[in-house]
Amino acid sequence: MGPQSHPDETRTDIDSSRRRRSVEPVLMDTSEVAAMLNMSTSWVYKEASKLGLKGYKLGRGRNAKVLYKRAEVFKWLEQQKIH
């Protein structure tokens, strides 16, 4: 057993406990943003930067993926409230 193992835990117990811990994703892809805003992905690509939503381009060329910080999307959405 390794120094981090607990003597009563089997490998299956350790693996299943790791799977139960879910981490909230930090980034959203364009289709997730579009679905959340009930808009098309093309609208997000065209309008996001004009509206102040900054995308992060990962990759090169046609297969590059544009991701948005989840917190920034929610912050922008809050700013759109009608008072």
Tell me the pLDDT tens digit for each residue of 32-57: 999 999 999 999 999 988 988 899 99
User: CA angle, 59 as apex, 54 and 60 as ends, to 5°?
Assistant: 105
Give mean pLDDT, residues 59-80: 92
Please state whether the predicted TM-score (pTM) of the whole model is above 0.85: no
- The CATH class that applies to domain 11-79 reads mainly alpha
The confidence score (pLDDT) of residue 18 equals 60
23 vs 75: which has the higher pLDDT? 75
- Is residue 67 over pLDDT 60? yes
